A and B are shown apart, each in its own frame.
Chain A
Amino acid sequence: MRESRSDRIFYMVNNIFLFIILIIVLYPMIYIVSCSFSNPRSVTSGAVWLWPVEPTLLGYKTIFENKDILTGYTNSAYYTICGTTLAVILTVLAAYPLSRKDYALRNPIMLIFTFTMFFGGGLIPTYLLMSNLGLINTRAVMIIPGALSVYNVIVTRTYFQSTIPIELLEASQIDGCSDFTFFRKVALPLSKAIIAVIALFYAVGYWNSYFSALIYLHDREKYPLQLFLREILIQNTIDAEALSKGQMSIEDMAARQSLFELLKYSLIIVASIPVLCIYPFIQKYFVKGVMIGSLKG
């Protein structure tokens, strides 16, 4: 089929538009990556525009010599791995029964779940609950309370409903297959894609969360990475000795300030790397998962 001239112009304008969007999203990210590899002096003098100037790994070196950041990294990894495992198990356990149209308690339980999306106890009553449960300032508070998102249950449930044909269930039931067996042998193997998606969502949520740590944790050695990031990136404070350990001979305040600026850029990269590394591999799953979840939800 031949394209008309107006169509050709339309496609061209459309591509230009998408290209502009691409640049708007990509440029700040490239800029930050470039800054993180540049010489501290070039960063503060504004010499960096697109590519690193006088490339160096100084920023990264300084970060990995900082004890706080290593503590935060280990803690965040621990919270993320434990939390995600627990959350995926709970979500799948909730989603499967709720996906079964022949399950007698499906509607009342679904109602109990969805109501919490619209109404909740609020900050203080939740805090009091945690305090009554003795969870304040424990590592468990970073893992357990966030371990079930009703939204993810709904997405997973919808996925089960739309990918597991009812005939399959009926046939297995005639063969005397119990619900447990069907779930283990048929439903789970068929839903690897959705499990990958919700695992990604939960992992990102755990890795990125800072607020529960802010209100529930007091000991610095339990802090997740995001809280240390908040101190450095937002509140602009850092242990002075962390900087003087750098390779440069730091005599004047300016050099020190430059190194601090550089460190922030490197820190942004280091903190986002784990998530951004996994994401492209899992992208094809999550687009599929989100689409199935949203389409018929």
Chain B
Amino acid sequence: MPDNKTYFYIKKWIDKNWQLTLMVILPLSFIILFHYVPMYGIQIAFKNYRAVDGIWGSKWVGFDHFIKFFKSYQFIRVTRNTIMLSLYSLIAGFPVPIILAIALNCCKNIKFKKTVQLVTYAPHFISVVVLMGMVIQILSPKYGLLNNLIKALGGEEVLFMAEGRYFRSIYVWSGIWQNMGFSAIIYISALSSVDPTLHEAAIVDGASRLKRVFYIDIPCIVPTIVILLILNLGSIMNVGFEKVLLLQNPTNTEYSEVISTLIYKQGLASAMPQYSYSTAIGIFNSLVNFFLIVGVNTIARKLGETSLW
């Protein structure tokens, strides 16, 4: 005879949860298909993938592809470029939205504030292709705005796109231009939730607005800053790859070849695609990333109370 109690228990559980499960089942299968099934394909990094043999049937080669990558001249170059590009973006780009948010928070003219917000959020919605098109137009040696300006001031025209050493700055500052407003939203929301009684008390004590920025506003948004810093540090190996690919040209590969563009070139864009080798590079990248975010989070948790988990 079936255990009545267990049966009753299971039936109750199903009655309570089946509707919500039915709702989530489609998105869940979606995630499993498009995010977890590819993880099964990761094994080709340790194999010599051939289309005829399939993922499972290809021969195991161990760490050969990894060793090949570590020994190649590309290894140092792409790792250096990836890290340099990310660090530059982070150091130059991280404080800008914070400063913008604080300035907006201090602005008393509501209309002006709204205008600045409307305008600075807008570039976020421009596509990378269009943004890079704009950059190329503005920096163009013959017809570009910036070179017109330099020439009008009596200078020599500069070949911004053709000289590798400008690549990093172009990449970073176009990114800041595009995203500073949008990234500021999160800080603006953190600032708007600062307890107004703190400000009132400080005003009674005669604190100036500038003092209140440093002793009330900034300390109140430190947790938000820390969380975003962790997220940013953790994704240091993930360079905005679509943008790099667009900005890349033969004259700047010395600076612009990053891990993700190398994966694309070795894996899909080349005449002789090396699926396994390319996947191995991808795994190297993901693993470094994974440990970075765990590491940074651990440090943050030890130092203060804020952390992701």
Q: A residues touching B (Cβ–Cβ < 8 Å)? A: 1, 4, 6-7, 10-11, 14-15, 17-18, 21-22, 24-26, 28-29, 31-32, 35, 43-44, 46, 90-91, 93-94, 96-98, 100, 103-105, 109, 112-113, 116, 118-129, 145, 147-148, 150, 153, 178-180, 183, 204, 207-211, 215, 226, 229-230, 233-234, 261, 264-265, 267-268, 271-272, 275-276, 279-280, 283, 287, 290-291, 294-295
Contacts and interface: CB of A to CB of B under 8 A. Distances in A.
Contact of B100 (A15, A21, A207): A21
A31 B145 CA distance: 9
Contact of B242 (A43, A94, A211): A211
Contacts of A127: 267-268
Given A11-B106, A22-B120, A123-B268, A234 B133 contact: yes
Nearest to B286: A119
A126 B106 CA distance: 47
A97 B21 contact: yes
Interface residues of B, number: 95
Contacts of B20: 96-97, 100, 103, 105, 179
Contact of B130 (A18, A96, A268, A287): A268
Report which residue of A90, A119, A124, A275 has the largest number of chain B beta carbons within 10 angstroms of its beta carbon: A124
Given A103-B17, A179-B20, A275-B126, A128 B106 contact: no
Contacts of B27: 90-91, 93-94, 148, 153
Contacts of B104: 18
Interface of B: 13, 16-17, 19-21, 23-24, 26-28, 30-42, 44, 55, 100, 103-104, 106-109, 112-113, 115-123, 125-130, 132-134, 136-138, 142-143, 145, 148, 151-152, 177, 180-181, 185-186, 188-190, 192-193, 203, 208-210, 241-242, 245-246, 260, 263-264, 267-268, 275, 278-279, 282-283, 285-286, 289-290, 293
A123 B267 contact: yes
B279 A46 contact: no
A295 B224 CA distance: 9
Given A1-B203, A123-B260, A290-B185, 8 more contacts: A6-B210, A35-B137, A123-B264, A124-B41, A178-B19, A179-B19, A233-B129, A295-B193
B133 A264 contact: yes
A120 B39 contact: yes
B118 to A, nearest CB: 6
